[in-house]
Structure 1
Amino acid sequence: MPTALDVVDGEVRELIRRRGLDPFTDPGPVRLLVRDVVADYSERSLTSALPPIVDPESVVRDVLDRVAGFGPLQRYLDDPEIEEIWVNELTPLNLQISASIVFLGPH
């Protein structure tokens, strides 16, 4: 069964296509669209078998990272503490934070 994040992501992508939005040139409308889809999904999940959304803001951020950013890397790109990101293969991810190297496991 898909997660709430996966369902919302799919709905957002479909609406972006239908409306002809570009997440990179139309970030404001895309952000509003994501918030609306999350709110609509949350309401539908109250009366259906859909998995609930525990943290709506987290889902909004994750969907925006997926459709208008670099997916799971986006949070590190946005973090001013991150000095460097090394991607040698799919996993693990290595980060340099304030002169320290941090090795992250699989995502």
Structure 2
Amino acid sequence: MGADTIAQLESQVRAQIRERGVDPLREREAVRALVDDALAEWGERALTGAVVPVDDPAEASRELLANVAGLGPLQQYLDDPEIEEIWINEPSLVN
């Protein structure tokens, strides 16, 4: 799945968040529902050949939710119970 696909889906979800007045930090389940709806709609459009299909909807859902209602690429570390510390040494280096 390409970054362009995720960017388009993220834009769609963010537009829905604004339109419906959803607070991504407080209403995570509402955001999850919007992500699921966006992925379902994308899947229907992919069946007609209008867009490229999403290879792994579960991974796309996690990434979209992290980008919209979490801390983006850092969210995976925050969700991992094995991670005790996150060191950000520079923008491209996280330990």
TM-score normalized by the length of structure 1: 0.81
Is there any run of 5+ residues in structure 2 with no aligned partner, and where?
Answer: none
TM-score normalized by the length of structure 2: 0.91
Aligned partners of 2:4, 2:90: CA distance in 1, in Å? 26
Could you tell me which residue of structure 1 aligns to residue 9 of structure 2? 8
1:3 deviates by: 2.2
Aligned partners of 2:8, 2:41: CA distance in 1, in Å? 12
1:4 deviates by: 1.7
Could you tell me which residue of structure 1 aligns to residue 40 of structure 2? 39
Percent identity of the aligned residues?
Answer: 48
Q: Deviations over 1:28-55 (max 9, x none)?
A: 1111111011011111022134221001
Aligned partners of 1:74, 1:36: CA distance in 2, in Å? 22
Could you tell me which residue of structure 1 aligns to residue 18 of structure 2? 17
Secondary structure of 1:42's aligned partner:
helix
Could you tell me which residue of structure 1 aligns to residue 79 of structure 2? 78
Bigger relative contact order, structure 1 or 2, given CA contacts below 8 A and separation 6+? Answer: 2
Structure possessing the higher radius of gyration over alpha carbons: 1
1:86 deviates by: 0.4
Larger helix fraction of residues: 2
Q: How many residues align?
A: 94
1:2 deviates by: 6.0
Equivalent pair of 1:3/1:51 in contact (CA under 8 Å): no
Equivalent pair of 1:38/1:56 in contact (CA under 8 Å): yes
- What CA RMSD, in Å, does the superposition of the two structures yield over aligned residues? 1.5
The amino acid of 1:45's aligned partner reads A
Moved over 2 A (4+): none
